[in-house]
Amino acid sequence: MGSFRKILINEYTHNKINLRNISVTTRQCREVDDRKEMYRSLPTMDEGTAGEKAADIDALINQKGDVFPDADTPNRLFKGVAFKELPVFNIRVTPNNTILCLTDAKGSPQLIRSCGIEGFKNTKKGTNIAAQATAISVGIRALEKGVKTVRVRVRGLGPGRMSAIKGLQMSGLDIVSITDSTRVSWNPPRPRKARKL
């Protein structure tokens, strides 16, 4: 700070320019020895949207032991139906669209809807709002067919990943498991050259 003032004073004396007063204050920081006290003093965390909550995995494991699949999972009953016989919602997510397909346990399709079919056009198809609206409508149609408990399989990357799952949940479906089957290339093609700006 001292060298900065010397430069300003030198410029002022040599060039005779008008100078404004510069006031610099140091930030008042208090030392916190206890980490718990520091966490208590922080403001409460904003959840973002109403109804969405963060889950503490460690607490779930201690509270309920059957969160993760094991060898007996395919035969476990969910509302009277074995896990391996539950219908599956396949969600195909791309940056430009989200496609939801309800299949039975064998894989034959029952319902297929996408954001484009739902009425969203052009760029709006790739938004999370479009994915959520499509998931709500297809979930209501699934309930009309008598499907209440489903498995969910998500594939691909895009803005509609979490929104589609949330939309299915909002429609009243009971989601038993969520599987991410996004394909991973172990030998990807060479990336495109950097864009010149």
Query: CA 42, 43, 46, 51: dihedral to nearest 10 degrees?
Result: 100
| Domains annotated on the chain, with CATH | 66-180 (3.30.420.80)
The predicted-structure confidence for 100-132, as pLDDT tens digits, reads as follows: 999 998 889 999 999 999 888 988 898 999 999
Structure tokens belonging to residue 37: 């006290």
State yes or no: pLDDT of 19 exceeds 80.
no
Contact of 152 with 178, CB cutoff 8 Å: yes
Rounded Cα–Cα distance for residues 145 and 143 (Å) = 5
Rounded Cα–Cα distance for residues 42 and 186 (Å) = 43
The predicted-structure confidence for 132-185, as pLDDT tens digits, reads as follows: 999 999 999 999 999 999 999 999 998 888 999 999 999 999 999 999 999 988
Q: How many helices (H) and strands (E) does the chain have?
A: 6, 7
Residue with the bigger pLDDT between 107 and 1: it is 107
Rounded Cα–Cα distance for residues 197 and 195 (Å) = 6
Residue 180: predicted pLDDT: 92
Contact of 157 with 182, CB cutoff 8 Å: yes
Residue 12: predicted pLDDT: 52
Contact of 154 with 161, CB cutoff 8 Å: yes
The predicted-structure confidence for 57-104, as pLDDT tens digits, reads as follows: 566 666 665 667 778 888 888 888 888 889 999 999 999 999 999 999
Indicate whether this model's pTM tops 0.75: no
